[in-house]
Amino acid sequence: MVKLIGSLLLLMGMAGFAFAPVPAPEISPDSATTALALISGALLVMRGRQKK
């Protein structure tokens, strides 16, 4: 279950990054949400792999 949630968070983060508008120097709330989703998903996937 943890791997599934982690994978979904990674996918959601990558999708948000792919459809982002032209980059600007400031940090928008959308990019902060994408970064948080990518970090959370990566941590969940790594945590799931360490238990084996």
Look at residue 12 and tell me if it is in a domain.
Answer: yes
- In the predicted model, residues of the chain with pLDDT beneath 50 are none
pTM of the model: 0.46
- At residue 34, the pLDDT reads 82
Give me the long-range contacts of 4-8 (CB less than 8 A, separation at least 24). 5/41, 5/44, 6/40, 6/41, 6/42, 6/43, 6/44, 6/45, 6/47, 6/48, 7/41, 7/45, 8/41
Look at residue 23 and tell me if it is in a domain.
Answer: no
- At residue 24, the pLDDT reads 59
Look at residue 35 and tell me if it is in a domain.
Answer: yes
DSSP structure string for 4-46: HHHHHHHHHHHHHHHT--S--SSPPHHHHHHHHHHHHHHHHHH
Look at residue 22 and tell me if it is in a domain.
Answer: no
Number of domains within the chain: 1
Domain extent, residue 34, equals 2-17+30-50
